[in-house]
Each structure stands twice: as structure tokens, then as C-alpha cells.
Structure 1
């Protein structure tokens, strides 16, 4: 996880606010981001859902955490799994590319 994201604590995350093409649809945009994050989180046995202006992160065992902002997802993922969850890990990127059936970057 990027240390800068964790530094801001409960402040708004930089990804909040504006959606694609400059439109602002917070709930829809959070659901879209959750879907993208799930591509990586699934590799760690986790699932993320947008719920009531927050995120719920759930593991295979049913253990879960409520996450207030997108930037805190990776720290919570690490707590739930007990291991480092790095979306930029070359092995994670390679696994995502293999899932998509491409050899090109995501």
C-alpha cells in the first residue's frame, strides 16, 4: 500500500468525488471502483462491496471489515489476510493479465 494514502486517515480520499468523464455519481463510482479492486482482492481471497457510502471487505472465512475510504482498503486487506496485499506486485499483475488472457498491462 502507498504510505501516502494511509497518512490521511479519515480525510476524504483523493479518488472520491469525480467519476469518469467529469461526472459526479459517488455511489456508482464507488461500485465501479469496488469492481476494479475486486480483480486484485480476489487473488487474496477477498471481496469488496460498496455499501451506504462505505466499503465492506470480506474474506473467505466470513471475517469482514467496514472501510470508510478507498485508500484504507489495502491496510484492511492485510489485516484480514495476515499478509502483504500489494496491487502493484509483479506476480499480482501477471496473474491479472493471465485472467484476462492477454500479455499486455492491465
Structure 2
């Protein structure tokens, strides 16, 4: 447990590894994961923020907030805040994400 904030500090979740991030620092890789997660979470009216590199803060537009210690816990917290499961296969979500993704072969 952290002596300053009282949060539990455990082993790092598998999603916290920096494999495949082309040498990015652990902090930069975590920020990238937060940005990517927010592309999905905004569809459900949620926003994810990194909290000192050790946890995530998930908030709704109305101010409901939950702390999560891993990306898996973020989805559970989102379901709690929204009152229903977050469906990553929601057709309107997939359509929105596809609109954000450049077509193959379109320069970087």
C-alpha cells in the first residue's frame, strides 16, 4: 500500500509492459495506452486519465469517477459507472473507430 495515497500497489499487469513500443519509456507507453483507450471510451461518455503511473482514473461526463489498477479493471469500472457492460463490438463504435483509422497504404 502506498504510504502517501493509501492505494494498493501490486504486481504490474501484463498490459503494462512496453513490448512493441519501439523503445518508448514505460511512462510514454502508458500514456499511449491511455490515448488509445480514450478513443474507445469516449463512445461511452467516459474519459481515462493516468494517475501517477500507478493507477487509472475513469470519469463520466457527469463526474462519476472510479479508480482502476489495470486496463482490465478500467472496463469493469466503466460498466459500473454506465450501469451496463461496455460492448467493444458495438457496431456504431466500430464504425467510429474505422473512420479514425487511415486506409491501408495511405501514408503515415
Which interval holds the TM-score relative to the shorter structure?
Answer: 0.7 to 0.9
Residue in structure 1 matched with residue 84 of structure 2 by the alignment: 83
Residue deviations 1:43-77 (CA, integer Å, cap 9, x gap)? 00000011112111000110101111122111110
1:17-96 paired onto structure 2 within 5 Å: 17-19=17-19, 20-21=21-22, 23=23, 25-53=25-53, 54-96=55-97
Aligned residues: 93
Unpaired runs of 5+ residues, structure 2, are: 1-9
Structure 1 11/91 Cα, relative in aligned 2: closer, same or farther at 3 Å? farther
Q: CA deviation at 1:18?
A: 1.6
CA distance in 2 between counterparts of 1:81 and 1:68 reads 19
Residue deviations 1:2-30 (CA, integer Å, cap 9, x gap)? xxxxxxxx653211122502x36222211
> Which one has more relative contact order, counting CA pairs under 8 Å at least 6 apart?
1
Contact 1:56 1:67 survives alignment (8 Å):
yes
TM superposition score normalised by structure 2: 0.73
Unpaired runs of 5+ residues, structure 1, are: 1-9
